[in-house]
Structure 1
Amino acid sequence: MSKVKSKYVFINFICLLLLTASTNLLSQNISKMEDSLLNNQLSNSNRIKIHNILAREYSFVNPIKSIENAEMALELSNKMNDLTGVANAYRILGSVYAQNDNYYQGMEFFLSALDIFEDNGDSLGIGNVYTSMGHYYSRLGLIEQQIFYHKKSLEIFRNLGNQARIGIATHNLSETYLVFGKYEECEKLAFESVEINKRVKNRSVLSSCYNVLGRLQVELGNEQLAKEYFYKVLTISEQLGENSQKLATVGALINLANVEESNQNYEAMLNYLLKAIEFSGVSLLSEELADILLKLTSYYVDTGQLDSAKSYGKKYQELLQKKRAKQAEDRYKLISSVEAAHNLQKERDQLEESNLLKESKLQLAYISIILISVIILILIWTLLLNIRKNKILAKQQKTIESQKLRLESLNFTKDKFFGIVAHDIKAPLNNMKALSDLMLSHIDRLEKKEIREMAQMTSNSLKSTIKMADNLISWARLQMGDVAVDQSLVDVGNNLADIVTLFKDIAAKKQIEMLSSFESDLKIIVDPNQLEFIIRNLLNNAVKFTRAHGMIKISGQQENNKVIITVADNGIGMPDEIKENVFKLESKHSMKGTDGEKGTGLGLMLCQEFITLNNGVLTIESKEDQGTVITLTFDAA
């Protein structure tokens, strides 16, 4: 890496962090935002946003205030269940900890933010975390990871079509390529970033893009073109005033000073360096400004201006002292355990002048603390792995229990199925066999009337058995998930007309009156075959459990946006214990009809399952010896 390149890695990294923090944040007045938090009428959602904005801004100049604001945003977000607010606070905390060399804690916060954004499908949030992770790996000097995450963030922003974020991401990647000597890629992305930031009027990022292009031209030996780009940075800075991108401006001044130095134009170099110090303001604790003071000290020594050299040398020493004090204060507040390391470092500095042996022991103690910290981290990581494994095992155990219950249910279903086959179907088959044997044995002695009666009994038994078999087959298919629902628009009255006519004839044979009444144009979305199955079962039950001279009524009407079909009879009704368990397979009891008709007890359960498959509701009202009313409710089409 060239001398110029290495000299400005630090300050440009800080520029990247500030630029990618927000598109328009520099135009905000921090003090005004802090004052707005005093307004009791301010909503919690706005408080979360402001605290996160302040945390993001303070992360570059005051990590303690940054963490305080992030924690306030985190607390409010948890109360409001604002997951986006939580994730944004985590991302900022990750950046602060990483900037203060607490890389493990920083990565934990990044991953926590990433988990939330991924769970919410928030692509913009994911892209922002990838941007922060690119800067994270930049601090660690891991080139491949740095480029990887900046590329991923750029890809996401391109897919979203978010021009403002694309402008920042292309700038980040161009900066990375410049630092690592990939000049063609740097230039291509830098020009793209310039065009985008012009369109979106993000002049703070635009100034940093020109700074990158200027540095690129320095590396390529085009100093005049480089100066033109640096002048553009200064022009934008003047236009923005107090809202300018200060670090980009300072960087341009320093770069111009270096160009003038290479041309031995020391007066111009001095002018740019003095402007850099004057412009930097509260940023005097930066690493690059220490280099400026050293450069000025060296210049005044070389030119024999010893008073000025002494003055800037003193400022340099004061700057270093302030920097050490600030770092010690921030790190103590960030992580309490750093206090011990800081005290050891101070002790080592004090012993450094008097005793090399004591210094060695201090270094050994410092290393011991690091080793202990590493061991603690390993133990914590192991604990987290064990917790994760236990969660996986618990989930697997829950799955096993669920499968066990399902298997028990299927086994019960199988037993019930074979029980019905063995009893409810076998019994009528035996009866038919007995009747047929009787007819064969005594056919010569039986009269036609007796043969006709026996044949009628056999026919009735066969019909009942076929009905039971149909229900059993339908029920078994439902248990196996082998029933398809083919819904269509159905006119209720027209669709059920043939079935009602058929059962009127059947009811008449038992001397039962059946009435039907359907409003015109009753339409629902339903599987017509399954609707017919339901009505056949309900009418069959009504006929079965209604005495001679009784009455059955089937009707259909629309109430608001619902279509209601009712099948009512004044038959024998149901006892409470049967009505309460009518849809439970384990409590299934069949009742004999008024003429001794038998069944499996599955009919109503099948109706309920078909109703559910078609998004309807089935309700039963029944009292013993008073009759039964069954109501079907569907959404009107």
Structure 2
Amino acid sequence: MVLRLLQKKQWTVICLLCYAGMLHARTGDIWQVPVSQLQDSTHYIDKVNHLAVLYQLKNLDSSFLYVMQAQQIATRQGYTKGKGDAWQALGDYYGLRNNSYLSIRYYMDALQVYKKLADSNGISQVYASLGVYHKQSGQMEIARDYLHKAMDIGQRLPGDSTYALILSRFAGVNMEDPTKQDSVQWALKQARNISTGYRDVYNLLQLDLLDLQSLLWQGDIATARNKLSALVSAVTTNGYGYPAMLASRLMAATSARQQQADSIQYLVQAVKLSLTGGYQDLMLPYIVQLYDWYKKQGKQDTIILYSNLLLGILKQRNDAKSNGEMDYIAYYTQQHQMRALQLQRATQQELLRKRGLETRNRLALIGFLFLLLVFTMLVGLYFYRSYKESGQSAVMLAAKNREISAKNDLLHKQDDFKNKLVSVVAHDFRSPLHSIISMTEFLKAGDIPPDEAYDWMMDVERSAGNTLQTFDNILAWINSQLSGFVYIPALCTPADMIPETLQYLADMVNSKRLQIIISIPREIQVWADQEMLQFVHRNFIHNAVKFSPEGGKLYITAGEENGSVTLSVVDEGPGIPESIFPYLFEYPQNNETRETKQGAGLALIICRDFMDKMRGQLQAGNQPGGGAIFSYTLPHVKNITATISYDAMVF
């Protein structure tokens, strides 16, 4: 249990250490510059903000004091970037305090400031911090999105020290993803090359920690333990409480994996370091584990010590959360009050100035003011009337423009519809009429036997019937495409509608001796236009009968799933050729396409158009054992009545 906890949040604190190290690289040896020697200026605010971040490595309470001082001075001087840097540092501070609410709020405030200032460097840093935050919250996709944004900006910055920070955070966030190991190793290598060029000791330190974590993740515990032991001694000696605590935790993890007796010793050392530097909130789960371990050992003095420590941390956490939220609210309330006082002061000064002017010049200027008032009123009246007339003209012109635009759109639609109609008629009537003319010419010649002539006459009759049905389809399509078409849905029961459709197609079914198998529950109902839905039924069943072999079976089924009703018609025919699948529900737009890529005919195009108007979908496919399946999906009546008002809809 101790081992799992030691590994659970290791990546977040390592990524935060990266931020402090990169700031140190940009500011130089600021530890040696006394703040009192700097002037109360923007440079002073920047130095205090940098100190606040750097003290995250040594003492979190000192870091908070510095960042609050920087925020107050930046607010007083109106230094916007200084406030943004302070808010970003407060986001880091509350992240280390396990107060995610205030952490994310300060990050977002800083991001807004940086965007307003077009500060790419600040934006990329906040994006990287938000990536760490969302990874810790379990929102991996959002975390990666923020990190990709940060990397996209960071690699275009003039200096690449910030880019090294972003690469380190990228590696820390994706350390435990086995699919990202190549990217993690690449990011670590690039960050190390950049940090080595800048001689950035602190970023190289956190990169060493990331390398050690990578070794632990790969299972090379022995190597990691040897390198980590030296690292613990180095950071502890130099007084860096935060990395020392982190390194001690990693050392405890490696010892626990190797079942070494000193794992508890390193964990106790990490707790002591956290108390010294103010990082105890990060150690709360491990303090609980130490309390349980000493309880099993029966060491009462130590149990009491850790019990009091746990109570103190929990109380301090609640107090800090409450105080932090009140500080946040008080800050914005103070800003609002300050702006209100400034406005009130300006108003009062203006009022006093006007009163003094009126007192000094009342007698001398009363006549002039009267004339000026009259003149101003006349001029104002003139401009008001001109403005009103121009406004009315503009409204009328805009209305005329909209009317002309609407009529132009209507003309374009009608022209497109005319072209489409001519193309459809030319395509779907040329072949059948040509066939009828050819057959009648042969019959007039009288060169064929009577039996064969009778068969030809039957073919002519069938061709004429199909041509007539195509003509009916075109009329239905025209009616659906014209402006002003009204769609009024009604309650439809497919179990009652299918038998009516089969009566219409009874001759075709009987001529092929087909067996129709219907499985449609009567309780299934949908909202649709009955004639439009019957048109879809007739075309589905007509196609199935047309391509079914004699004596075959035809299945008509319906079912409800996830709030939708799906009705399917399945035949045992040859199926749909692969060549027309892409054009099954569309009509080719030119002659070359019509000759080379044949669709399924106008009927299916109209079915798709009708189904779109009824808010449904069409599907088609082939059965594994042969035969085609056509189906449509409409919302179930229970779902529709709860969410949609079905008044008349005009398309």
What interval of TM-score do these two structures reach, taking the shorter chain for normalisation?
0.3 to 0.5
Higher relative contact order structure (alpha carbons within 8 Å, sequence separation ≥ 6) = 2
> Which protein has the larger Cα radius of gyration, Structure 1 or Structure 2?
1
Q: TM-score, normalised by structure 2?
A: 0.44
